[in-house]
């Protein structure tokens, strides 16, 4: 079975690669000097701090590495297995600011919606159809009562190289909840749903 890999250097930004115009560099130097001297207004100071934090977060997101995943185009069950592995990894590690994690999750989700459900779902036994539809609906509507759900972000931000903060918060909260109550966490419920899909499809027991 073929695998694709997310190249580490695609998500790593070196300091020597950050290009700053001379005008921007002069302004930053002046701002830093004024900030040390206490000459900047409070609003200007806060804007400078927020800009620094945004750049720091961008560098941290770009530097995140991630494991290989299955080829979603060649294996029709890979979308479910990929999501299972992703959620198992999220149980152990806070991957909320990992672009490779979000990209892989989004690809697997959309492969399920586009390649699997419309084409292959009707060929499956009724119970397996219900399990797949149940998993789809669970993620599509999580968290309950919100307009912008996990399913929304996985669909709308497919292929993007940046992460919306509400999505980051959703992923982080899922990880924290599992750390507090692993047996009954949302992630445990989702991986159990996926097991009930993958094992009948493959005829094999899943290994974490």
Tell me the pLDDT tens digit for each residue of 84-120.
Answer: 999 999 999 999 999 899 999 999 999 899 878 887 8
DSSP 8: G
Q: What is d(CA 66, CA 86) in angstroms, rounded to the nearest whole number?
A: 10
1 pLDDT above the threshold of 50: no
What token pair was written down for 134?
């149940």
Q: What does the pLDDT read at residue 9?
A: 37
Q: What does the pLDDT read at residue 15?
A: 35
Q: What is d(CA 124, CA 195) in angstroms, rounded to the nearest whole number?
A: 16
Q: Which residue has the higher pLDDT, 44 or 116?
A: 116
Q: What is d(CA 92, CA 95) in angstroms, rounded to the nearest whole number?
A: 9
Q: What does the pLDDT read at residue 5?
A: 32
| Max CA distance (Å), the chain | 72
23 pLDDT above the threshold of 70: no
pLDDT digits 0-9 by tens, 149-205? 999 999 988 777 788 999 999 999 999 999 999 999 999 999 999 999 999 988 888
| Spatial CB neighbours of 59, under 8 Å, sequence gap ≥ 6 | 13
Q: Name beta bridge partners: 24.
A: none
Q: What does the pLDDT read at residue 25?
A: 52
Are 96 and 172 contacting, i.e. CB atoms less than 8 angstroms apart? yes
Q: What does the pLDDT read at residue 62?
A: 42
pLDDT digits 0-9 by tens, 47-89? 555 555 554 454 444 444 444 444 544 466 888 999 999 999 9
Identify the residue whose tokens are 């097991």: 195
Peptide bond connecting 146 to the previous residue in cis, omega within 30 degrees of 0: no
Q: Which residue has the higher pLDDT, 2 or 55?
A: 55
Q: Name beta bridge partners: 4.
A: 69
Q: Whole-model pTM above 0.85? A: no
Q: What does the pLDDT read at residue 202?
A: 85
The closest alpha carbon to 53, from 135, 151, 165, belongs to 165
Q: What does the pLDDT read at residue 161?
A: 77
């Amino acid at each position: 079975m073929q695998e694709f890999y997310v190249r580490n250097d695609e998500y790593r930004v070196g300091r020597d690669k950050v290009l700053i115009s001379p005008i921007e560099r002069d302004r930053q130097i002046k701002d830093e000097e004024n900030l040390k001297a206490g000459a900047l207004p409070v609003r200007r100071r806060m804007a400078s701090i927020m800009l620094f934090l945004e750049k720091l977060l961008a560098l941290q997101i770009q530097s995140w590495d991630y494991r290989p995943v299955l080829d979603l185009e060649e294996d029709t069950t890979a979308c479910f297995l990929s999501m299972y592995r992703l959620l198992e990894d999220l149980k152990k590690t806070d991957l909320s600011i990992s672009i490779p994690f979000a990209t892989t999750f989004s690809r697997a989700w959309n492969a399920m919606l586009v390649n699997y459900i419309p084409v292959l779902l009707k060929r499956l036994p009724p119970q397996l159809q219900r399990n797949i539809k149940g998993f789809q609906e669970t993620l599509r509507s999580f968290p309950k009562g919100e307009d912008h759900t996990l399913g929304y972000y996985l669909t709308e931000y497919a292929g993007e190289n940046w992460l919306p903060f509400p999505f980051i918060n959703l992923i982080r909260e899922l990880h924290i909840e599992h750390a507090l109550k692993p047996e009954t966490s949302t992630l445990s419920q989702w991986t159990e749903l996926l097991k009930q899909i993958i094992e009948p499809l493959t005829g094999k027991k899943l290994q974490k």
